[in-house]
Structure formats: structure tokens, C-alpha cells
Amino acid sequence: MRVWRVSSRDGLLVIYSLAHFAVLFWCAATWAQGGWPARVAQVGLLAAMTAYNIIVVSHLFTHVPWFVSARLNAAVSALNSANIGQSVQAYELTHVRNHHRYNNDAPGDTGTTKDLSSTYRDGQNGEHAPLLRYAIGGALQSLRDRGHELLVIVRLGKPGAGERVLISLAWRREPRRSRELRQIRIDRVVRWLSLAVLTVISWQWALFCYLPAYFLALVMVNVQNYYRHYGADPDNRAADSVSHYGRLYNWLAFNDGYHQEHHLNPGAHWSQLPTVHRRHRTRLDAQPRIVSPLPAMLGFLHAGRPLLHRAPADGDGGRS
């Protein structure tokens, strides 16, 4: 019987997901036993694992679920929802059906962007939003959204703008629409139940380790997304993202560096992205685009990065 939808190598991502979940409970159980150096190390470890899960593991799953079985995919969605502190199904709706539809667009006639995560959304005069506002402000907004989700679950609050966005992004036809919205609820219940159990194990860990680590992870994810698009041309489908072709990074991150290729073919499995690059190479080489010598997380160290989003009148590095 066929188990894997595309490749058995996705089993590595399943192993990471299970390991991440186990590490959460191990950290909570051992928090009181370690000194402050060990506790600081736990914060760093969980922040890195959560950021990697969001950027690589869950991101890949939202585009190409790993299993043939819908039930196994639903279980993975719930598992990683506990790991990344948000519904993976909701992540799919906002990322796959919003971000990859509008591709980090610049503000249009309405004065804002259609892409809810666009780096231009809070920018001025056609510029990206300032990095700190995008990274830290976005992380704070995510924390507020997670808190509101809890209020909705326990029926202490009414669905807000975020809930209405998810409903609008859900598949329009039944039964898929109901299945997606139900999965969001399941993801959230599993996420909050797991956090409740972890808090019972050690409320000190939840307060002094989990929350800081989660916030740091959100900041790192926002930095990653910022430099995946910073300076790219939002009006050019072959130059609206930034790729990094370093072998080590792409080996460790399942070809995450092929971001322009990912934008050109969001439905391609991670193992196929080098092939997508070869297929579109003539098109990609036909106009200016940004290829970074560094992974997006370190994009702020990319000196002399072209700014293709600026008009030619701005000088070198403008659109051509």
C-alpha cells in the first residue's frame, strides 16, 4: 500500500516533527533541574527548533502534504500545530492561498497590499516596511492573534478580523470547506491542550522559556520572510523573490533557498526545486534578479544587495 504522497524522504520531516514535540516535554520536565546556563540554552534551542519548523517543515507540508492518507495528514497538521504554536491548516490558508496568490505585492489602488504578509504592507513611498517593525511588530501581532484564538475556543469572544480572513480563504465547495475549517479547530484544540499539559508540568518553564522562545522564533521567521523578498521586484514574476543556492543550507533546509523557484511553482515538491530552476533558467537569467550569497535569515549581511523595487531614477540597482 502506498504511504508517501511524493517521496519517502519526507519521513525525515516526520521524524523532526516528532522530535520537536518530544523536546518540548523534555524541556518542561527538566526545567527545574538545570541552572540558568541550561535554561538559557533551552530558550535558544526551542526558538531555533520552532523557527525551523515554521520556515521549513510546516511550510513544506502546507504546499505538499506528505501522506496519501488524509487522516495521517490531519494528524501531522495537529502535531505541528502544537510544535509551532499555531494551526498548520490556518497557516496553509494564509500562506498558500494568500501569499502565493499575491506574491509580496506592493500597495495598490486601495493603499494597502493584498498579500497579508507583504513586506510592503506598512512601508512608505513604495518602500519595504522597516525591518524591526516588520519582524518585532509582526511577532507581537501574532502573539495577540494566538491569545484571541484561545478566547474564541472557550467562547469568551467573537470571531475577529483574523477569523473572517480564514473563512474567506477556505475552499468554497463542500465537503472540503468544512473539512478545512474543522481542521483549524482541531489544530487549535491540540495546540492549547498540549500547552496546558506543559504548563501543568512546569508553569515556570511555560512563562520563562516557552513564551520567550516562541516570541524569538516568530521574530526569526519574520526576518527570514523579509529577506526572502527585500529588494526584489514585486511586478516581475521571475524576480519577485530572492534565492540562495548554497549547497549546505539547501541540504539542511530541504532546498528552502530556491525561493524564486518556489514562487514560480509553489506546488513543486522540495526535491523538485532544482529541476524547476533548470527548467526556468533561461527566463530567470533574462532579467535582473537577486541571488543572495547568504541564507535569508542572514540577509542583513548581504552588502550591496540590488534594490530592484525602486524606480530607475533612484540610481544604480533600480528596475531595468
Condensed to tens digits (0 to 9), the pLDDT of residues 56-111 reads 999 999 999 999 999 999 999 999 999 999 999 999 999 999 999 999 999 998 99
The average pLDDT across 35-50 equals 97
Q: Report pLDDT for 163.
A: 80
Q: Could you tell me the CA-to-CA distances from 166 to 113, 135, 180, 184 in Å, in that order?
A: 17, 22, 10, 9
Host H or E run for residue 243: strand 242-243
Evaluate whether 149 touches 89 at the Cβ level (below 8 Å). Answer: no
Give the helix/strand (H/E) hosting 45: helix 36-52
Per-residue confidence at 312, pLDDT binned at 50, 70, 90?
A: low
| 59 phi and psi angles, rounded to 5 deg | -60, -45
Rounded to 5 degrees, φ, ψ at 291 are -120, 115
Distance from C-alpha of 232 to C-alpha of 88, rounded to nearest angstrom: 27
pLDDT at residue 1 in the model: 84
User: Is residue 154 predicted with pLDDT exceeding 70?
Assistant: no
191-246: pLDDT as tens digits:
999 999 999 999 999 999 999 999 999 999 999 999 999 999 999 999 999 999 99
pLDDT for res 79: 98
Looking at residue 159, its pLDDT comes to: 55
For residue 160, the model assigns a pLDDT of 60
Residues 100 and 79: their CA atoms lie apart, in Å, by 24
Task: Give the model's pLDDT for residue 164.
Answer: 84
The answer, yes or no, to whether residue 131 has pLDDT greater than 50, is yes
Q: Please, what is the average pLDDT of the chain?
A: 93
- Is the full-model pTM beyond 0.85? yes
Q: Is the pLDDT of residue 300 over 50?
A: yes
